[in-house]
Amino acid sequence: MESVVSALPGDLRDSGERISGYEALSMRLDHEYSIGVVGEWTVVSDPGMQLVYDRKLGELLSVQRRALAFLVHSVSSVYGFALYRDGHLSRRALYLEGEVQDEMGDRLPEEENLPHSATEDHVLDLIPRLTGIRWPEVLQAPFRVLQPL
């Protein structure tokens, strides 16, 4: 987990505050990042939504591992994900109001036969297919709030 924290932009420290995954993934929170562990995955909450859009950051976070960034913003109907493997972006798809807005890389086998297309449910159903982690596990996990030094 500390290698992930050190790869995030800015000088961050653990604020000492602990929150649930549900709180961590809420856009209402006022923090740079929060971080938790679910199974073998380190989960980073990024209210600024940098992880889906910042390719260099995704590549840095995925050196010698996989990194999945996802975006679910129901208010604006913007959804998407980016999958990095061993320091390289292998697939990204961003959707706005059910339409593909940006797509890079070949469709993944895990994207096949999803019951929804280009929606919030599409992204949320894709997460366990790529990680083995179910969404309720993420929401119930404890997260550490990170703040700038």
Answer whether residue 80 is part of any domain.
Answer: yes
94 vs 80: CA distance, rounded Å = 4
Q: Tell me which H or E stretch contains 126.
A: helix 120-131
Containing structural domain, residue 48: 2-139
Answer whether residue 20 is part of any domain.
Answer: yes
Answer whether residue 149 is part of any domain.
Answer: no
Answer whether residue 146 is part of any domain.
Answer: no
76 vs 61: CA distance, rounded Å = 27
Answer whether residue 118 is part of any domain.
Answer: yes
Asked if residue 147 lies in contact with residue 31, where contact means CB atoms within 8 angstroms, the answer is yes
Answer whether residue 148 is part of any domain.
Answer: no
Answer whether residue 144 is part of any domain.
Answer: no
pTM: 0.86
- Of the pLDDT bands very low, low, confident and very high (cuts 50, 70, 90), residue 18 is very high
Mean pLDDT of the chain: 88
If you write DSSP's letter for every residue of 3-16 in order, what string do you get? Answer: HHHHHSSS-EEEEE
Answer whether residue 145 is part of any domain.
Answer: no
117 vs 90: CA distance, rounded Å = 20
Asked if residue 68 lies in contact with residue 82, where contact means CB atoms within 8 angstroms, the answer is yes
Domain count, the chain: 1
29 vs 94: CA distance, rounded Å = 23
- What are the pLDDT digits (tens) for 58-81? 999 999 999 998 888 877 888 889
In 10 A of CB 12, how many CB atoms? 18
Rg (CA), the chain: 15
Asked if residue 134 lies in contact with residue 141, where contact means CB atoms within 8 angstroms, the answer is no
**SS3 at position 66:** strand
